[in-house]
Amino acid sequence: MINSFDVLWLTASPSLKYFDQPLLKFLSKSLQVAQWEYHPAPDEASSIDKAVCLIDEFLQSYSRPVHLAGHSTGGAIALMFARRFPQKIKSLTLLSVGSQPAINWQAHYYVQRQMFFLSRERILANNGRSLFGYQPPHKMKKLVATLDRDLQESPCSHSPFKITSLPKGGVYMPLMVCGCKTDPVISPSLLHDWSNWFKPEDRLWECPRGLHFFHYFYPQNVGQQMLNFWQSLNLPSVPEKQSQSLEIPISEHNSQAFA
């Protein structure tokens, strides 16, 4: 374990951790950031509850509360952990997590499998375009393969037979919810519904563009909002400074055709 860190970022699937890296690199220029990844053992049942227990084991030797954050399913795991172990969390930041925390891109995928007589490959390709906008064919092929692996690795319990849910509601610690106005998965209504459980110190921020992985396409914008939130909570190690931009190999191209 890292001896000291300010922020713990939860990654639910090894296949998707690549899309977290630009944001984590930006934040790491201002803070000590640790990344926890979920890696289920072979033949081991994966679930959000199991992930929560593993995070508890990870933090058992850490003496002070941490700022917890995550995107999509990683955010849902962070939410469940924060509710179960509030004494270990200083603040919670959720990206692309709606008021029904179980809703993610996989839920959309399985709904489409139920509704349309299309192949798995065709529906994955449709989701790839929806989540990432237009991409050249060779990049889209890699993205579709990544989504396919995520269906196997993620601790989500959705299936072609059932779309599961998680308890709705807020948390005791300060909460920041980040979303995107063009996200095809987490609609504005799902995002703004969080206000029903907001406390005075909680905040909601929407990125104008970027689709579901907006933190990948606009890491500086998202990261600065997160730094501002933590700074408002008097986190002493957050300096007021800007970082240089990062080169991002996949471009969103402002595509709204599938948003």
Token readout for 151 is 């269906």
Q: What is the predicted pLDDT for the residue at 152?
A: 87
For residues 250 and 202, give the distance between their C-alpha atoms in angstroms, rounded to a whole number: 32
d(CA 246, CA 142): 21
- Residue range 81-98: average pLDDT? 97
- In this structure, of 138-152, 197-211, 231-245, the range with the lowest mean pLDDT score is 231-245
Residue 173 structure tokens: 């610690």
The pLDDT-based confidence of 116 (bands split at 50, 70, 90) is confident
- Mean pLDDT for the chain overall: 87
pLDDT at position 235 over 70: no
What is the band of 91 on the pLDDT scale with cuts at 50, 70, 90? very high
- Of residues 248 and 206, more confidently modeled: 206
Q: Is the pLDDT confidence value at 239 over 50? A: no
Give me the mean pLDDT over the 172-184 stretch: 97
Would you list the domain boundaries of the chain?
7-100+167-232, 105-153
Mean pLDDT of all residues in 161-188: 94
Q: 3-state DSSP helix/strand/coil percent for the chain, to nearest 5? A: 45, 15, 40
- State yes or no: pLDDT of 256 exceeds 70: no
pLDDT at 43: 58
- Residue 178 pLDDT > 90: yes
pLDDT at residue 254, rounded to an integer:
38
**CA atoms lying within 13 Å on the CB side of residue 207:** 28
Report which of residues 165 and 211 the model is more confident about: 211
204 vs 41, more confident: 204
Cβ contacts of 174 within 8 Å, gap of 6 or more: 90, 91, 92, 199, 201, 202, 229, 233
Among residues 187, 182, 205, 204, which one has the least CA distance to residue 252?
182
250 pLDDT above the threshold of 70: no
Q: What is the pLDDT of residue 251?
A: 45
CA distances from 252 to 44, 135, 249 (A): 36, 8, 10
- The CATH H-level (homologous superfamily) assignment of domain 7-100+167-232 is Alpha/Beta hydrolase fold, catalytic domain (3.40.50.1820)
Query: CA 252, 258, 259 angle in degrees (round to 5)?
Result: 75
The pLDDT value recorded for residue 237 is: 45
Question: Sorting pLDDT into bands at 50, 70 and 90, what band is 153?
Answer: confident
